[in-house]
Amino acid sequence: MEKKYIEELLQNVKNGTMDVEDVMSKLKDLPFEDLGFAKVDHHRGIRNGYPEVIYCEDKTNEHIRGIVEKMLAKGSNVLGTRAKIEVYEAIKDLSDNVEYFEGPRLIVIKQKEPSKTINKILVVTGGTSDIAVSEEAAITAEILGNTVERLYDVGVAGIHRLLSNRKKLDEASVIIVVAGMEGALASVVGGLVDKPVIAVPTSVGYGTNFGGLSALLTMLNSCSSGVGVVNIDNGFGAAYLASIINGQIEKALKSNI
């Protein structure tokens, strides 16, 4: 449920096309709907600008299906993260618009196309092995309403690949850098730009990568200013944060027009 929906209901009451009882019945599940196994936060779209996101891992297919049904009934777009193919099979009959992205393990159901920002979020990836996490970030940022550009396989082992794309770095408002191994790419990008860099360490690497811990520590110890770090393999978290920053930039630009 979004602000625009509430505004339309109130306008209908003002115009006399709906009565107060009708509106109250539509708003009865604000701020949340208790399903017993989950409390679906229908108020989140009004509060935070985007509906609740379903973290699918460790939930049963039946529980996920129940949450999706309630969100669809409210007209919300649906984003499910860490979803196995079995989850997609369990809910694909609920809408003609169900999409499953196998690499990043995302489920997307668009009931309406999100408006796109003028400013770009750029997702930069160290290597091809990092693409699954990068796509989790890129697709999430897109459904949150951002214009997204991708720059993949430009890690420090061939730094000229990154440097030949300086224009893309300069044009972005926020940059998400996804890298495994030693995770040095975030520091390199941070040293080249004057904008926020959100670093995502991945679990890609040999033994002493420790499942992404070495990349995480490198990024946390970056000598480049303006680099923030999210959890290992957390493309979703990086995209959500980037979207908030990009949205604030967009608002500031519009207020100055």
- What are 65's two structure tokens? 């299906």
Q: pTM, whole model, 2 decimals?
A: 0.82
Q: Would you place residue 240 in the very low, low, confident or very high pLDDT band (cuts 50, 70, 90)?
A: very high
Looking at residue 27, what is its pLDDT? 61
- Is the pLDDT at 33 greater than 60, yes or no? yes
**13 or 175: which leads in pLDDT:** 175
Looking at residue 148, what is its pLDDT? 96
CA 232 vs CA 122, 204, 215, 219, 236: distances in Å: 19, 10, 8, 11, 11
- What are 130's two structure tokens? 């990092």
Looking at residue 43, what is its pLDDT? 60
- Is the pLDDT at 26 greater than 70, yes or no? no
Count helices and strands (H / E) in the chain: 11, 11
**213 or 16: which leads in pLDDT:** 213
Looking at residue 253, what is its pLDDT? 76
Beta-strand ranges (E) seen in 21-61 are 33-34, 39-40, 54-55
- Is the pLDDT at 206 greater than 60, yes or no? yes
Q: Where in the chain is the domain with CATH 3.40.50.1970?
A: 120-253
| Angle of the 235-255 helix axis to the 131-143 helix axis, nearest 10 | 40
CA 147 vs CA 15, 26, 195, 219: distances in Å: 36, 32, 16, 25
> pLDDT digit string (tens) for 56-96?
999 999 999 999 988 888 778 899 999 999 999 999 999 89
> pLDDT digit string (tens) for 156-169?
889 999 999 999 99
CATH-assigned architecture of domain 120-253: 3-Layer(aba) Sandwich (3.40)
Look up tokens 């997307």; give the residue.
108
Residue 232 CA to chain centroid, in angstroms? 15
